[in-house]
Amino acid sequence: MDRIYRVMIIDDEESARKLMRAGIMWESIGMEVVGEAGSGIEAINIIDDIKPDIVFVDISMPFMDGIEFTEVATDRYPGLIIIIMTAIDKFEYARKCVSLPVFDYMLKPMVRAEVLKTLERAREKLDRQDRDSVSYAELQDEAFSDTEKEADGMEAIRKYLEDNFTDPKLNLTFTAQHFGFSASYLSRRFKQETGKNFVEYLTELRMNKAMKLAGEGEKMFRTSAEVGIPDPNYFGRCFKKHTGMSYSEFVSSEAAKQ
């Protein structure tokens, strides 16, 4: 097993994510868990950084459930293997979504042996995809090199982000598709041209707007929605990382200055 495949777990229950991490000896099957998310919205915001090959996603979550996540993710990430986790009372609901290209549906609580069988099938599919994509990737790189020579695309992309950062669907892959690039090419070129990676730049735009709204005393749940991160928990983590303070602390400090 030459390649280590990357796995992401999306579940609003932290205990379920921990159990999934601990219940499988990932290294032994040539895989690693590279990230987690507590909602579909959080997952969409961080998936470009994590770059998973396989995603386990719970069907019932706040803000964006597993089905909504799958609809968005399969449109933007062709080749991503999505495994939906569902409790038995939601199983028929999951089955109604057979039009979506879901790799498998698994009942919770999941049985380790069944998970391993599913992961083995997933690995076989990913191995085939890797073999098929090598020659296509070489041709694509040549095409994008030609495109780069035609226009100053990065300035247009930065303007696009400044005009649209409040859209929760906006991320690296969405933007790359909009401009006709591959996500990997845009990521590389964006860092070269701006000195920041794409996610950092987008988050900075959102947090600068959030700080302005916080300074005006806006409630956190309204601010998070207005800046394109409707999951308040994920927004709160982003805000604290950016400012060094929780949202309420920041609001209080700004109020004290007035």
Task: Give the whole-angstrom CA distance, residue 84 versus residue 67.
Answer: 8
What's the rounded mean pLDDT across residues 19-36?
94
Lowest mean pLDDT among 38-47, 109-118, 173-182, 242-251: 173-182
Query: What are 31-48's pLDDT values in tens digits?
Result: 999 999 998 888 988 898
Task: Give the whole-angstrom CA distance, residue 254 versus residue 8.
Answer: 38
Residues 213, 169 within the same domain: yes
The reply to whether 142 falls in a domain is no
The reply to whether 20 falls in a domain is yes
Residue 235 has pLDDT above 60, yes or no: yes
The reply to whether 136 falls in a domain is no
Residues 126, 155 within the same domain: no
Residues 58, 122 within the same domain: yes
The predicted structure's pLDDT at residue 210: 96
Residues 27, 119 within the same domain: yes
The pTM of this model reads: 0.66
For the chain, the straight-line distance linking the first and the last C-alpha, in angstroms and rounded, comes to 61
CA angle (52, 54, 60) in 5-degree steps: 105
The reply to whether 139 falls in a domain is no
Query: What are 162-196's pLDDT values in tens digits?
Result: 999 999 888 888 888 888 877 878 888 888 888 88
38 within 8 A of 11, measured Cβ to Cβ: yes
Write the CA distances from 89 to 61, 86, 94, integer angstroms. Answer: 15, 8, 10
Residues 125, 157 within the same domain: no
Residues 83, 113 within the same domain: yes
Q: Which of 163, 186, 191 is nearest to 174 (CA)?
A: 186
DSSP-derived 3-state class of residue 155: helix
The reply to whether 91 falls in a domain is yes
Of the candidates 96, 130, 164, which is a domain's last residue? 130
Residues 44, 97 within the same domain: yes
Residues 190, 238 within the same domain: yes
How many domains does the chain fold into?
2
The reply to whether 39 falls in a domain is yes
- Which structural domain range is residue 179 located in? 151-258
Residues 106, 155 within the same domain: no
